Amino acid sequence: MNATEMGRRRFREIARVSGLVFQGFPGSHKSTRQLQASSGLIYDVFARYDPDNLLLAQARSEALQQELELTRLSTTLERMHRQNLLLERPEHVTPFAFPLMVERIREKLTTEKLSDRVARMIKDLERAAQPA
């Protein structure tokens, strides 16, 4: 996760709204690229020479709240912390693990085609799921 880049992206909008970035005269607006460059320079100056700047703090706060949904994430982590962990080892590959298994066999060198190996795995799983 690149928190700096997320903060920088949020800062572009904050700089535009606060009037730090000149958007051009009416009828001849600056391009998005020019606005990004201008706000990026201002962000870099603030980050280097005024790291406690309120606009930077606002950009970081918005990035955490909007991009990461920090409140929701912390609530979920707290709920997970209070729960008991139940670890089971299934006898066969589960449906959720199947894509991971396909990725593992994709990396192995063999003369057999991937589609043939996947078909064989499916057949084996279906056979294992049949009642005895």
Where do we find the tokens 């080892």? 89
The per-residue pLDDT for range 91-130, each reduced to its tens digit, is 877 888 888 888 887 777 667 787 888 888 888 878 877 7
- φ/ψ of 125, rounded to 5, equals -65, -40
Neighbours of 84 (CB within 10 A): 4
Report the predicted TM-score, pTM, of the whole model to 2 decimal places: 0.52
The pLDDT, as a whole number, for residue 105 is 75
Decide: 39 and 22 in contact? Cβ < 8 Å. Answer: no
Question: Domain residue spans in the chain?
Answer: 3-82, 98-129
The per-residue pLDDT for range 20-49, each reduced to its tens digit, is 888 888 888 888 888 888 889 999 999 999
Spatial distance between the Cα atoms of 96 and 79, rounded to a whole number of angstroms: 23
Spatial distance between the Cα atoms of 15 and 77, rounded to a whole number of angstroms: 33
- Quote the DSSP letter at residue 109: -
Spatial distance between the Cα atoms of 15 and 39, rounded to a whole number of angstroms: 6
Mean pLDDT of the chain: 85
Res 76 pLDDT > 90: yes
Q: How far is the first Cα of the chain from the last one, in angstroms, to the nearest whole number?
A: 48
- Quote the DSSP letter at residue 67: I
